[in-house]
Amino acid sequence: MARNVDALYIFLLIVCGMMTLLIFVCLVYFSARFRHRPGVRAEQIEGSTPLEITWSAIPFVIFMVIFAWGAVVYFQERTPPTDSTEVYVVAKQWMWKLEHAEGQREINELHIPVGRDVKLIMTSQDVIHSFYIPAFRMKQDVLPGRYTVEWFRATKPGVYHLFCAEYCGTQHSGMVGDIVVQEPAQYEAWMNGGSTGPLSATGEKVFSELGCATCHRNDTQGRGPNLNGVFGKPVQLEDGRSVTADENYLRECILDPGSKRVKGFQPIMPTFRGLVSEEQVNALVAYIKSISGTKAGDSGKASASAAAPQPAAKAQPNGSQVQ
């Protein structure tokens, strides 16, 4: 990804360098060649429509090339591959809290394996932050009240800067950390130390503690929809709309159940806003995803089970991103 951004950047440097050079050479040449000499008068030139059209059209064409290239790179940057390793990010003043799908928790430090696609599912507990890794050329604002997504694949082991790039208050410049990219073997070793179990298992515990299962039963008899297999599928809403059940939808249903109610169900679910922490919401979302068979938490199985939902995901490549 960084290579694609740099390629476009270098192209722009060359194009803009040439434009700058053209203008500067003209400026210097004209001002030297046509400097005031006694007895020589300026030659009045009204203008030239063909020339105007030329120097409007040529830059416009160049601009469109830059635009199209920039858009292609942007869509790559904004479309996480479907079988990425997932990490949940909760930002707060002034700290990054990260939780791997496998259950490892970190603060201001993220360990990832080299060569694997990593997808961050991010939200903020307070104000807007921005998760920025200059070395990967990646940045995405992290907002309160919703998920935003960012992804990357590290190609070289090492330690890279992590910055908060959206001003967030007193210790904004202290909201920095490290991205530790490790060889797969090292990463596995790190991963095996001191985990509390997969995030989805935590979610399952929260799910039962909050009594969600009383309504969201495993059959069709519950007062709430059966959540098995719901993730990534289209959902018919009571008001006639249809939405994809992505992370943001699940999150909204937990915190604001009335807003996008599933067709055929009564508005009886209470809001859990203020009752569950951001981390618990993440765990619940991870759990619901795990029982939908797409992401079981360990990405090893993911590629096999990803076969079924892939067409749906392909139809809406940016579904989880568009908000």
Asked if 19 interacts with other proteins (CB under 8 A), we say: yes
Q: Which is nearer to other proteins, 300 or 314 (CB)?
A: 314
Asked if 60 interacts with other proteins (CB under 8 A), we say: yes
Q: Which is nearer to other proteins, 137 or 260 (CB)?
A: 137
Asked if 59 interacts with other proteins (CB under 8 A), we say: yes
Q: Which is nearer to other proteins, 59 or 81 (CB)?
A: 59
Asked if 120 interacts with other proteins (CB under 8 A), we say: no
Q: Residue 118 corresponds to which tokens in the numbers above?
A: 């990593």
Asked if 74 interacts with other proteins (CB under 8 A), we say: yes
Q: Which residues within the stretch 181-240 sit at the binding site for other proteins (CB under 8 A)?
A: none
Q: How far is CA 221 from CA 142, 233, 317, in A?
A: 38, 20, 33
- Out of 82, 84, 140, 182, name the contact with other proteins by CB under 8 A: 140
Q: Which is nearer to other proteins, 54 or 214 (CB)?
A: 54
Amino acid at position 289, single letter: K
Q: Which is nearer to other proteins, 280 or 321 (CB)?
A: 321
Helix axes 278-290, 199-209, angle to 10 degrees: 100
Asked if 271 interacts with other proteins (CB under 8 A), we say: no
- Out of 14, 159, 275, 322, name the contact with other proteins by CB under 8 A: 322
Q: Which stretch binds other proteins (CB under 8 A): 120-128, 212-220, 276-284, 306-314?
A: 120-128
Asked if 97 interacts with other proteins (CB under 8 A), we say: no
- List the x/- string, 153-192, binding to other proteins by CB under 8 A: --------x-xxxxxxxxxxxx-x----------------
Asked if 242 interacts with other proteins (CB under 8 A), we say: no
Name the one residue in this structure whose structure tokens are 């009045």: 44
| Whether the Cβ atoms of residue 310 and residue 224 lie closer than 8 Å to each other | no
* Phi, psi angle pair for 41, to nearest 5°: -100, 155
The CA distance from 49 to 227, in Å, is 66
Amino acid at position 185, single letter: A
| Whether the Cβ atoms of residue 218 and residue 228 lie closer than 8 Å to each other | yes
In whole angstroms, how close is the CB of 16 to other proteins at the nearest point?
4
Asked if 126 interacts with other proteins (CB under 8 A), we say: yes
In whole angstroms, how close is the CB of 173 to other proteins at the nearest point?
4
Q: Would you give the DSSP letter of residue 23? A: H
Q: Which is nearer to other proteins, 54 or 208 (CB)?
A: 54
Q: Which is nearer to other proteins, 214 or 259 (CB)?
A: 259
| Whether the Cβ atoms of residue 246 and residue 320 lie closer than 8 Å to each other | yes
Q: Would you give the DSSP letter of residue 40? A: P
Q: How far is CA 198 from CA 65, 98, 152, 232, 264, in A?
A: 46, 13, 22, 20, 33
- Out of 14, 67, 268, 308, name the contact with other proteins by CB under 8 A: 67
In whole angstroms, how close is the CB of 140 to other proteins at the nearest point?
5
DSSP string, 231-296: TTSEEEBTTS-EEE--HHHHHHHHH-TTTTPBTT--S-PPP-TTTS-HHHHHHHHHHHHHTTTS--
Please give the torsion angle defined by the CA atoms of residues 272, 276, 277 and 278, in that order, rounded to the nearest 10 degrees: -50
In whole angstroms, how close is the CB of 9 to other proteins at the nearest point?
6
- List the x/- string, 23-52, binding to other proteins by CB under 8 A: xx-xx--xx--xxxx--xxxxxxxxx--xx
Q: Residue 38 corresponds to which tokens in the numbers above?
A: 């006694």
Total number of residues that touch other proteins (CB under 8 A): 83
